[in-house]
Amino acid sequence: MLRRFFTRCAARPSVVASAVLAVASLVALSVLAGGRLTSAAGPQDHRSDDRRPASPVPDVLSPVLQPPRGLEAEATGPSTVRLSWQEATVTGRGVVAGYRVFQDGTSTAVVSVGPEVLSAEVGSLEPGISYGFTVRAIDADGRYSAPSEEVELTMPARPTVSDGPQGTPSHAD
């Protein structure tokens, strides 16, 4: 009987995958139930003798977004900054669906870009003021990564009008 089962499994890999998934699901349910399984013979305790609860099974299928790395900022004008970063990585199943730029620790993104875009511009900044920026990756289910390391930039001050050579006021007569 086992020979016939394994012959069928070799011919149909999807059957093997389904069986493995079913067994893994039962094991996970057993762990979540505290190690108690019920069979035709009645409840059986499969925990160790010290009666400690089983450790939870890690969720290896849920995606985990790693934060973008290498965030850099450069003032591109008196009130505009260009941010650039390295691509975020994903462990588990899932993909990066985009990036969100946050300013000064706020919880609302000031810029949103797609998954292939690794830079953004932020405008309407005041000259002479320091700003902090972070970037977070987001997946298709709306889960955010941790924030990148913050980068801080002080915008250049507005140029002052010179009074003339040697500090003497210039006059139009």
- Would you list the domain boundaries of the chain? 2-45, 64-154
Do 8 and 15 form a contact (C-beta atoms < 8 A)? yes
Who contacts 134 (Cβ-Cβ below 8 Å, separation ≥6)?
A: 71, 101, 102, 105, 147, 148, 149, 150, 151
pLDDT in tens, 119-167: 999 999 999 999 999 999 999 989 999 999 999 999 998 877 765 555 5
State the CATH architecture for 64-154.
Answer: Sandwich (2.60)
- Give the residue, 15 or 137, on which the prediction is more confident: 137
At residue 91 the predicted structure's pLDDT band, cuts being 50, 70 and 90, is confident
- Let me know: does 69 contact 147? Beta carbons within 8 Å: no
- Which position has the higher pLDDT, 94 or 100? 100
Q: Could you tell me the pLDDT band of residue 12, with boundaries at 50, 70 and 90?
A: low
Averaged pLDDT, 80-108? 95
pLDDT classification of 93: cutoffs 50, 70, 90 = confident
In whole angstroms, what is the distance from residue 137 CA to residue 114 CA?
10
pTM above 0.75, yes or no: no
pLDDT value, residue 74? 97
> What pLDDT, on the 0 to 100 scale, is given for residue 101?
98
| Contact by Cβ (8 Å): 63, 96 | no
